[in-house]
Structure 1
C-alpha cells in the first residue's frame, strides 16, 4: 500500500470535524487494521447499529477518508476500505478561521487521548513481545529547517516500509507508530 502522493493538509473544517467524531475514528481504525468491511460487520464489532455505521461510513467517504471496494460490493451490500495510506497533516491553527480552530483543537485532543492509551500499553507490550514493541527516545539540537527535513525523511521511510491490510506480506502485523517533537527548552 505505497502512496507517493503529496501530503494532505487537513485545512477544511468539514474534514477535520468528520475525522474528530469518536465513532468515525474507531471505524477508520478498524478498516486500517483489519481491512475492508461492511457497515454490518463494523457495527457488530463496534456495538453500533447498521444505520449508524452506514451514516458514519458515508461521512468518511464524503470527506475522502474511505472508499467503496467495487469488486466486493453488490446490491445493498457495500464494502469499504481506507482511501489509501495518505500523509494526513494538521494545519497550523492560524491557517483556519478563528471560529474553526476549536474543531482542530478537538481533533488534536482526540488524537492525544488515543496516543496516551497506546503509550499506557507500551510497558506490558514490551514485556510480552519485545520484538514488536520497539522504542527509541532521542534528543537533538536542530534548526527549524533541519527538523522539517528530518520529519519528511521519517514520513518517506514509513511509507517505504508500510503495507496496508490488503497487500501486507505473510507475518505482517498492524502497528501503532508515532513521532512527535517538542521544544525541550520550554517548561
Structure 2
C-alpha cells in the first residue's frame, strides 16, 4: 500500500461490501464487477465503485492476464494479498472495521446454516471461545502459531473431498467491568 496512509486504507476497507468483495476475490477467485455483482447479489455499478476504492489502497489488483472480453472492455480483478491481518487498535476507525468484519463473518455463518451440508461438515464446523492469561508477547506468539497451524492444515485446491473453510480468529484482552 504505497503512497497511502494506513488510516486511509483502513477506512476504505471498513465497509461490509468492500470486505465481501475482497473475500469473494480470495475465496471464489478473480472476477469482473459484473461477476462479483452476481456473486454478491448487488449491481455492477456498486461493485465497480468499491473495486476502485480497494484498488486505490492496494487490496485488489487488476488481472489483465484473464482477458478483456470480446469488446476489450472487461476489467478482471484479483485479491492483492492472500490475507489481511490488522492490529487490534481501539480507535474509532478500528471499531468501524471490526463491525464490518463481524457483519461479513455473520453472513458467512448464516449462509452455512442455510445450506444443506452433509453431517460430517455440520459436526466439524462451529465456533467457540476460551479465555487464557498471557502477555502481549505471548499473545503475538500465539497468533503466529495459530497462523502456522492453519497453514499446516490447508490441503490446497485439488485435495479430494476438501472444501474452502473460512476461519475468523480473534484475540483481545478482557477486563471485568466494575
TM-score > 0.5 by shorter chain: yes
- By relative contact order (CA 8 Å, sep 6+), the higher-ranking structure is 1
**Aligned counterparts of 1:28 and 1:135: Cα–Cα separation in 2:** 23
Q: Between 120-129 and 71-80, report the one with greater CA deviation.
A: 120-129
Q: Between 36-45 and 171-180, report the one with greater CA deviation.
A: 171-180
2:65 aligned to which of 63, 66, 71:
71
Deviation at 1:67, TM superposition (A): 1.4
Q: Between 145-154 and 117-126, report the one with greater CA deviation.
A: 117-126
**Matched residue, 2:138:** 146
* 2:19/2:100 contact within 8 Å kept: no
Q: Which runs of 5+ in 1 are unaligned?
A: 1-10, 94-100
**Aligned counterparts of 1:83 and 1:162: Cα–Cα separation in 2:** 20
Q: How many residues align?
A: 168
1:69-113 CA-partner distances (Å, limit 9, x unpaired): 2211322112111112134213524xxxxxxx4332211112233
* 2:16/2:101 contact within 8 Å kept: no
- RMSD over aligned Cα atoms: 3.2
**Aligned in 2, Cα 1:184/1:64: closer, same or farther, shift over 3 Å?**
closer
Q: Which runs of 5+ in 2 are unaligned?
A: none
Q: Between 101-110 and 175-184, report the one with greater CA deviation.
A: 175-184
Deviation at 1:138, TM superposition (A): 3.5
**Mapping of residues 19-168 of structure 1, within 5 Å:** 19-74=13-68, 75-90=72-87, 92-93=89-90, 101-118=91-108, 128=119, 129-130=121-122, 132-133=124-125, 135=127, 137-162=129-154, 168=157
Deviation at 1:121, TM superposition (A): 7.2
* 2:11/2:93 contact within 8 Å kept: yes
**Matched residue, 1:5:** none
TM-score by length of 2: 0.74
**Matched residue, 2:164:** 174
* 2:13/2:97 contact within 8 Å kept: yes
1:145-184 CA-partner distances (Å, limit 9, x unpaired): 2222111111233234447xxx612333221212223446
